[in-house]
Chain A
Amino acid sequence: MSQDSFIRRYVFSTDHKIIGIQYILTGFAMALVGAWLSVLIRLQLAWPLRLWPWLETLMPNGYLGGVMAPEFYVALVTMHGTIMVFFFISYVLVSGFGNYLVPLQIGARDMAFPFLNMLSYWIALLSALVMLASFLVEGGAAAAGWTAYPPLSAVASAMPGSGLGQSVWLLSMALFIASFTMSGLNIVATVFTLRAPGMSMWRLPLTIWSYFISAILGLLAFPPLTAAAIMLLFDRHLGTSFFLPGGMVVANQVLEHQGGSPLLWQHLFWFLGHPEVYVLILPALGIAADIMPVFTRKPLFGYRISVWSLIGVGVLSMIVWGHHMFVSGMSPFTGEYFSLATMLITIPMAVYGVNMMASLWGGTMRLTTPMLFALGALAFFGTGGFGGIFLGNATADMQLHDTYFVVGHFHLMIGGVTLLGTFAAVYFWFPKMFGRLMSPVLGRIHFWGTFAPFFTIFFAQHFLGLQGMPRRYYAFSTYEYLEGTQSQNVIITVVVLVLVAVQFVFAFNFVWSLLRGATASENPWEATTLEWTVASPPPHGNFGDAAPDVHRWAYEYSAEGQSSDYAPQTVTSSDVPVTA
Chain B
Amino acid sequence: MSEAAVGVATRWAGGVCPFDAGWKKVMMWVFIITDGLLFAGFLAAYGYARLMSGVWPDQTEVFSLPFIAAMTFVLITSSATMATAVWASETGQTASARRYVTFTLVGGLTFLGMQAYEWTHFIGEGARLASNPWGDPLFAAYFFLLTGFHGSHVLTGLIVLTKTVLGLSTGKTPVANVEMAGLYWHFVDLVWVFIFTFFYLI
Give chain A's interface residues, CB within 8 Å of chain B. Answer: 106-107, 112-113, 181, 185-186, 188-190, 192-201, 203, 219-220, 222-228, 230-231, 234, 238-242, 256-261, 264, 267-268, 271, 547, 550
Chain B residues near A198 (CB, 8 Å)? 13-15
Closest Cβ of chain A: how far from B197's Cβ, in Å?
18
B12, CB-defined interface residue at 8 Å: yes
B7, CB-defined interface residue at 8 Å: no
Task: Identify which of B14, B31, B39 contacts A195 (C-beta below 8 A).
Answer: B14
Chain A residues near B33 (CB, 8 Å)? 219-220
The 6 closest A-B pairs by CB, nearest first: A227-B41, A197-B15, A224-B41, A199-B14, A239-B130, A223-B37
B129, CB-defined interface residue at 8 Å: yes
Closest Cβ of chain A: how far from B55's Cβ, in Å?
10
Task: Identify which of A197, A200, A222 contacts B12 (C-beta below 8 A).
Answer: A200
Chain A residues near B14 (CB, 8 Å)? 106-107, 195-200, 203, 550
* A224 x B17 contact (CB < 8 A): no
Closest Cβ of chain B: how far from A545's Cβ, in Å?
15
Closest Cβ of chain A: how far from B54's Cβ, in Å?
10
B35, CB-defined interface residue at 8 Å: yes
Task: From known contacts A189-B30, A197-B13, infer whether A261 and B141 are also in contact, taking CB-CB under 8 Å.
Answer: no
> What is the CA–CA distance of A398 and B31 in the complex, to the nearest angstrom?
39
> What is the CA–CA distance of A188 and B21 in the complex, to the nearest angstrom?
14
* A259 x B45 contact (CB < 8 A): no
* B19 x A192 contact (CB < 8 A): yes
With a 10 A CB-CB cut-off, give which of B12, B36, B141, B149 has the most chain A CB atoms. B141
> Which residue of chain B lies nearest to A216 when distances are taken between CB atoms in the complex?
B30
> Which residue of chain B lies nearest to A258 when distances are taken between CB atoms in the complex?
B137
Chain A residues near B24 (CB, 8 Å)? 113
Task: Identify which of A192, A195, A241, A267 contacts B137 (C-beta below 8 A).
Answer: A241
Name 30 A/B residue pairs within 8 A (Cβ), A-sorted: A112-B23, A185-B30, A188-B26, A188-B30, A189-B26, A193-B18, A193-B26, A196-B15, A197-B15, A198-B13, A198-B14, A219-B33, A223-B36, A223-B38, A224-B40, A227-B41, A227-B42, A228-B45, A231-B145, A234-B129, A238-B129, A239-B129, A240-B141, A241-B138, A256-B130, A259-B53, A260-B49, A261-B48, A267-B44, A547-B15
> Which residue of chain A lies nearest to B15 when distances are taken between CB atoms in the complex?
A197
Task: Identify which of B26, B35, B48, B138 contacts A192 (C-beta below 8 A).
Answer: B26
* A240 x B129 contact (CB < 8 A): yes
With a 10 A CB-CB cut-off, give which of A192, A195, A201, A550 has the most chain B CB atoms. A192
Chain A residues near B45 (CB, 8 Å)? 227-228, 231, 242, 264, 268
Give chain B's interface residues, CB within 8 Å of chain A. Answer: 9, 12-15, 17-19, 21-24, 26-27, 30-31, 33-42, 44-45, 48-49, 52-53, 129-130, 136-138, 141, 145, 149
* B130 x A241 contact (CB < 8 A): yes
* B34 x A185 contact (CB < 8 A): yes
> What is the CA–CA distance of A256 and B23 in the complex, to the nearest angstrom?
50
Task: From known contacts A192-B17, A268-B41, infer whether A185 and B48 are also in contact, taking CB-CB under 8 Å.
Answer: no
Task: From known contacts A185-B34, A260-B49, infer whether A193 and B40 are also in contact, taking CB-CB under 8 Å.
Answer: no
> What is the CA–CA distance of A226 and B37 in the complex, to the nearest angstrom?
10
* B30 x A193 contact (CB < 8 A): no
* A185 x B41 contact (CB < 8 A): no
Task: Identify which of B12, B40, B44, B53 contacts A201 (C-beta below 8 A).
Answer: B12
* B137 x A259 contact (CB < 8 A): yes
Closest Cβ of chain A: how far from B183's Cβ, in Å?
14
Chain A residues near B35 (CB, 8 Å)? 223
> What is the CA–CA distance of A198 and B18 in the complex, to the nearest angstrom?
13
Chain B residues near A112 (CB, 8 Å)? 23, 26-27
> What is the CA–CA distance of A410 and B28 in the complex, to the nearest angstrom?
35
- Beyond A223-B37, A261-B48, 11 additional contacts (C-beta under 8 Å) are A113-B23, A189-B30, A190-B23, A199-B13, A220-B37, A223-B35, A227-B38, A240-B141, A241-B130, A264-B48, A268-B45
> What is the CA–CA distance of A260 and B40 in the complex, to the nearest angstrom?
19
Task: From known contacts A112-B27, A223-B41, infer whether A238 and B130 are also in contact, taking CB-CB under 8 Å.
Answer: yes
> Which residue of chain B lies nearest to A228 when distances are taken between CB atoms in the complex?
B41
> Which residue of chain B lies nearest to A239 when distances are taken between CB atoms in the complex?
B130
> What is the CA–CA distance of A547 and B16 in the complex, to the nearest angstrom?
12
Chain B residues near A225 (CB, 8 Å)? 41
* B31 x A185 contact (CB < 8 A): yes
With a 10 A CB-CB cut-off, give which of A186, A234, A242 has the most chain B CB atoms. A242
> What is the CA–CA distance of A228 and B24 in the complex, to the nearest angstrom?
29
* A234 x B141 contact (CB < 8 A): yes
> What is the CA–CA distance of A124 and B53 in the complex, to the nearest angstrom?
39
With a 10 A CB-CB cut-off, give which of A228, A259, A261 has the most chain B CB atoms. A259
Task: From known contacts A113-B27, A234-B141, A242-B138, infer whether A226 and B41 are also in contact, taking CB-CB under 8 Å.
Answer: yes
Task: Identify which of A195, A197, A224 contacts B44 (C-beta below 8 A).
Answer: A224
> What is the CA–CA distance of A106 and B14 in the complex, to the nearest angstrom?
9
* B34 x A181 contact (CB < 8 A): yes
* B9 x A241 contact (CB < 8 A): no
Closest Cβ of chain A: how far from B180's Cβ, in Å?
13
Chain A residues near B9 (CB, 8 Å)? 200
With a 10 A CB-CB cut-off, give which of A193, A203, A261, A547 has the most chain B CB atoms. A193
Closest Cβ of chain B: how far from A99's Cβ, in Å?
16
Task: From known contacts A181-B34, A185-B31, A261-B52, infer whether A195 and B15 are also in contact, taking CB-CB under 8 Å.
Answer: yes
> What is the CA–CA distance of A256 and B42 in the complex, to the nearest angstrom?
23
* A234 x B19 contact (CB < 8 A): no
* A220 x B34 contact (CB < 8 A): yes
> What is the CA–CA distance of A192 and B28 in the complex, to the nearest angstrom?
13
Chain A residues near B40 (CB, 8 Å)? 223-224
Closest Cβ of chain A: how far from B175's Cβ, in Å?
18
> What is the CA–CA distance of A188 and B26 in the complex, to the nearest angstrom?
9
* B38 x A224 contact (CB < 8 A): yes
Closest Cβ of chain B: how far from A430's Cβ, in Å?
28
Closest Cβ of chain B: how far from A360's Cβ, in Å?
30
> What is the CA–CA distance of A377 and B164 in the complex, to the nearest angstrom?
51
Chain A residues near B19 (CB, 8 Å)? 192-193
Chain A residues near B23 (CB, 8 Å)? 112-113, 189-190, 192-194
> What is the CA–CA distance of A200 and B30 in the complex, to the nearest angstrom?
20
> What is the CA–CA distance of A241 and B138 in the complex, to the nearest angstrom?
7
> What is the CA–CA distance of A220 and B33 in the complex, to the nearest angstrom?
8
Chain B residues near A231 (CB, 8 Å)? 42, 45, 145
* A242 x B49 contact (CB < 8 A): yes
Task: From known contacts A231-B145, A240-B129, A261-B49, infer whether A189 and B27 are also in contact, taking CB-CB under 8 Å.
Answer: yes
With a 10 A CB-CB cut-off, give which of B23, B26, B53 has the most chain A CB atoms. B23
With a 10 A CB-CB cut-off, give which of A112, A200, A240 has the most chain B CB atoms. A240
> What is the CA–CA distance of A222 and B12 in the complex, to the nearest angstrom?
28
> What is the CA–CA distance of A264 and B47 in the complex, to the nearest angstrom?
10
> What is the CA–CA distance of A182 and B130 in the complex, to the nearest angstrom?
34
> What is the CA–CA distance of A228 and B41 in the complex, to the nearest angstrom?
7
